[in-house]
Structure 1
Amino acid sequence: MPILYLDDLLVVIHKPPGLLVHRTPLARDRVFALQTLRDQLGRRVWPVHRLDRATSGVMVFGLNPDAARALAGQFERHEVEKTYHALARGWVEAEGVIDHPIRDDDAPQAAPQPAVTRYRRLARVELPVAVDRYPSSRYSLAAVEPVTGRRQQIRRHFKHISHPIIGDTTHGNGRHNRFFRERYGIHRLMLTAQRLAFTHPDSGERLAFSALP
């Protein structure tokens, strides 16, 4: 597991795509980020936040319960800066805010929960390939900041604005996913937790980490 930072209270890693953070009752996986990191460090680690199995990028874990609680509190109070990079179908607007409630899949009878995502376009490209019904295909790279933290929020919000993320087999577009697999050999979700910034629970120093290339 690539380690970006390590001290006596916390560890920051780059989680690869396709890896669950921890064991769940429904998962059949035998390898998890939490257990892998525990074995790698030779000590217990405590989860602070989550990333979807398919999403790669920066994560922080506590190395004792108090540190984990302090870090988790920063997430709950929205004191943590989280920036994702997403490759989406189509040309997204230069910047925007998606304010669209999301229903919890585990509680389908419950009312949808408020969910807000900000994004900013970083680049766009048009390929002379007819993947869909148009003679060319457009794609955007966006920096995305989830204001709230609903399950699969970014993926579901980008589907809502008709710009699904490439490689998303649940909320995405199968034709464009297949094009990226066959043309570029990309078999993963093109969503990365690119940057994470938080306050060290002991020193009070502001720390920021970026995902590996």
Structure 2
Amino acid sequence: MNNFLTEHLIHRDEDFMVIHKPAGLLTVPGKTADLQDCLINRLLQEEPKTLLIHRLDRDTSGILVFALTRIGQNRISRQFQERQTSKTYQAIVAGTLEGEGTVDVPVVYDPSRPPLHIADPAHNKPALTHWEVLENFQIGGAAVTRVKLTPITGRSHQLRVHMQYLGHPIVGDTLYADEQHQALTPRLCLHAERLSFQHPATDKMIEFHCPAPF
């Protein structure tokens, strides 16, 4: 293993490996030549058996699991598809939130403004996010709130759109926050901090943590 895999590896066994994806790196390649540098291509250079299971947005950091066998890929992928995994994120959002709550509003792609998604109560595919306040503080004199986010469904941009829908967009979000809140931090403050699922070989429930870097 060379530096990238060594620096970002959280766990590895025969069937899969758990990686800490840095912010600003695509999970898979984009459509154009300038978007070929991505996490899976970097991993494949060092571990040719790497197989995709799930993704994170380019600007989101945190835990991603990749399979190393077809059995591992099939069994873990099925858990994601059937919502049998458990995952939590940490985010810093604009303004002051208190307590906890749930956002239950469908999130759909907006073809008029790619790559944006929107909250659309009239849509038929549900999107559900639970949020819980961890702390209130300030960045550069602006009130912000650190929250734990638990997505019950897994729609694209779900957490970012749901926080915007609440009126508390994630700071550093160049798609869904206004310019003032984009400028508070140099990155999107959204991080996949915990993931649990059943081991594909033993069926034992296993859990991984990756502390938020912000």
Which TM bucket (shorter chain)? 0.7 to 0.9
Q: Tell me the equivalent position of 1:97.
A: 102
- The 5-angstrom pairing of residues 53-68 of structure 1 reads 53-68=58-73
Aligned in 2, Cα 1:187/1:27: closer, same or farther, shift over 3 Å?
A: farther
Report the secondary structure of 1:103's partner residue: strand
Q: Tell me the equivalent position of 2:143.
A: 138
Work out the CA distance in 1 between the residues paired with 2:26 and 2:195: 19
Q: Tell me the equivalent position of 1:162.
A: 167
Question: RMSD across aligned C-alpha pairs, in angstroms?
Answer: 2.1
Q: Tell me the equivalent position of 2:202.
A: 203
Aligned in 2, Cα 1:156/1:207: closer, same or farther, shift over 3 Å?
A: same
Q: Tell me the equivalent position of 1:33.
A: 39
Residue 101 of structure 1 and its aligned partner are, at CA, apart by 1.1
Work out the CA distance in 2 between the residues paired with 1:192 and 1:173: 20
Gaps of 5+ in 1: 130-136, 181-185
Moved over 4 A (4+): none
Q: 1:114 aligns with which of 116, 123, 126?
A: 126
Percent same amino acid among aligned pairs?
33
Report the secondary structure of 2:59's partner residue: coil
Residue 65 of structure 1 and its aligned partner are, at CA, apart by 2.0
Residue 64 of structure 1 and its aligned partner are, at CA, apart by 1.9
> Structure 2 length normalisation: TM-score?
0.86
Report how many aligned residue pairs link the two structures: 198
Report the secondary structure of 1:37's partner residue: helix
Residue 197 of structure 1 and its aligned partner are, at CA, apart by 0.7
Q: 1:3 aligns with which of 6, 9, 15?
A: 9
Q: Tell me the equivalent position of 2:20.
A: 14
Deviations 1:56-102 (A, max 9, x none): 00000111222111101111111111100000001123100001111
